[in-house]
Amino acid sequence: MLAIVAPGQGAQSPGFLTPWLEAPEFRARFEWLSTVASLDLVHYGTEADADEIRRTEIAQPLLVATGLVAALGIFPHPTDAFGKVSAVAGHSVGELTAAAGARVITAEQAMVLVRERGKAMAAAAAATPTGMTAVLGGDRETVLATLERHGLTAANDNGPGQVVAAGTVEQLQALAADPPEKARLAPLSVAGAFHTVHMEPAVGHLASLARSVSVHDPRTRFVSNKDGQVVHDGRDVLRRLVGQIANPVRWDLCLDTFADLGVTGILEMPPAGVLTGISKRALKGVETFALKSPDQLDDARAFCDKHGESAEIGSTPTWRMVVSPAKGTFHRAPAAADADVLGAGEPIGEVAGRSDRIGVTAAHGGQVVEWLVEDGDLVSPGQPLLRLHPENGAGQDGSY
Q: For the chain, how far is it from start to end, CA to CA, in angstroms?
A: 31
Q: How far apart are CA 224 and CA 231, in angstroms?
A: 7
The CATH architecture of the domain made up of 320-399 is Beta Barrel (2.40)
Q: What is the CATH code for 2-124+197-307?
A: 3.40.366.10
Give the DSSP letter of residue 330. E
Whole-angstrom Cα distance, residue 243 to residue 204? 9
Which part of the chain has CATH 3.30.70.250? 126-187
CA–CA–CA angle 269, 273, 275 (5° rounding): 75
pLDDT tens for each residue of the chain, 400 residues long: 999 999 999 899 999 999 999 999 999 999 999 999 999 999 999 999 999 999 999 999 999 999 999 999 999 887 788 889 999 999 999 999 999 999 999 999 999 999 999 999 999 999 999 999 999 999 999 999 999 999 999 999 998 889 999 999 999 999 999 999 999 999 988 889 999 999 999 999 999 999 999 999 999 999 999 999 999 999 999 999 999 999 999 999 999 999 999 999 999 999 999 999 999 999 999 999 999 999 999 999 999 999 998 766 655 545 788 999 999 999 999 999 999 999 999 999 999 998 899 999 998 899 999 999 999 999 999 999 999 988 754 444 444 4
How many Å apart are CA 397 and CA 11, to the nearest integer? 33
Q: By the 8 A CB rule, do 368 and 299 touch?
A: no
Give the residue numbers annotated as catalytic, written as ranges: 92, 195
Domain 126-187 architecture: 2-Layer Sandwich (3.30)
State the DSSP H helix or E strand holding residue 57, giving kind and residue range, or none if neither. Answer: helix 56-74
